[in-house]
Amino acid sequence: MIRSFVDVPADSHFPIQNLPYGVFSPHGGGDPRVGVRIGDWVLDLAEIADAGLFTGPYLIAADGVFAQPSLNAFMSLGRQAWQEAREMVQRLLNADSAALQGNEALRQRALWRIDNVEMQVPAAVGDYTDFYSSREHASNVGSLFRDPDNPLLPNWLHLPVAYHGRASSIVPSGQGVRRPFGQRGPEKGGAPHFGPTEKLDFELEVGAFVGPGNRLGERVPVEEAERHIFGLVLVNDWSARDIQAWEYRPLGPFLGKSFATTVSPWVVPLAALEPFRVDGPPQSPEPLPYLRHEEPCAFDIHLEVRLQGEGMAGPATITRTNLRHLYWRLCQQVAHHTVNGCNLRPGDLLASGTVSGSEPGSYGSLLELSRNGERPLTLPGGETRTFLEDGDTVTLSGWCQGDGYRVGFGELTGRVLPAHP
């Protein structure tokens, strides 16, 4: 197992086997630029490029891609350039290499302590699509609001259901989320209510950032779909359940979803996730030919959600699940998204939809955990929750467990702020 000359704690999400990409700004000033996370440090790739250490033909031809306020330019280069960069960074950080380890001046310029930088949303997101790909989640929601005996709509087992979200309200981890206003449905035949949501919720999701896109009118075959995926992030697609329930028929979510979507700062490349590739759940009936794939394209990623109220001494883990449970895989999502000729572009975000397992402790939203408020969740210290309260902090985390190392996403956090007066 290769090791870095940079000290990496044993339980770190960011060993040399990971090397996720992000965009950071130094606290002392300076333009945003692209970096790679290693342990508790960020390697400044713009400095590495300026030092002439990227020698591969694809990266030489794409000068300046790391001195950018987003990953879009780098993501657009495609898999060969990504592989060049990954191999170069692994060599530079390897404990057996002196190119960076032995160059003190360059180390001083290129390695930043994580607490000395501010992380940004990693990409300029042009379009955001939210899928609905967890069978357990769709079944739980269907049993709550439609028919417990037939919770899935007739199309669900035949295609990856999705809707187009709002890219302008994607925010970075750590930014507070304001409780939104909207209409709530009438009670007992009365008039609708207007005011702050009373059912604010989180959604545990994983998102895929698109690298090279496809031309308008051309589709991406399922077996080529992963060539268009740069890497994965954690996503919290905050939801106002009462606003959503009143507005979503017949056209789907709108104000109940568009007020905020939080993404984690570090994009884990598919190359780092390769050792954790697994078969997904059996699909029956068999998908139509354009959605069938031969090779496994699910990933064994452990996911957790922690919640901490203002009066709590520490966070409480309220959900543990795994991305491997996702019924519709990433490759199928890309194939379906483009089958009508829709063109994806670098930086587009495709979110999985809420990831839930089969047991109550593995549900990916408070809507499911509390049965839409019917069964309050008891937290340490005696507090209860049906939905989120002002001051609550929600933390998402995820990782793959290797033999003596982890490949992780770090944390995604967001704190609920009171509604505007």
Query: Do β-strands 128-131 and 117-119 pair in parallel, antiparallel, or remain unpaired?
Result: unpaired
∠ CA 364-365-368, nearest 5°, is: 100
Please identify every residue annotated as catalytic. 137
Query: Do β-strands 316-322 and 111-113 pair in parallel, antiparallel, or remain unpaired?
Result: unpaired
The residue to which tokens 């490349």 are assigned: 269
d(CA 301, CA 322): 5
Pull the structure tokens for residue 336: 């379906």
d(CA 360, CA 377): 11
Strands of 45-175 (E only): list them: 111-113, 117-119, 128-131, 162-164, 170-172
Q: Is the bond preceding 275 in cis, omega lying within 30 degrees of 0?
A: no
Pull the structure tokens for residue 94: 């390897």
DSSP structure string for 327-360: SS-HHHHHHHHHTT-PPP-TT-EEE------SSG
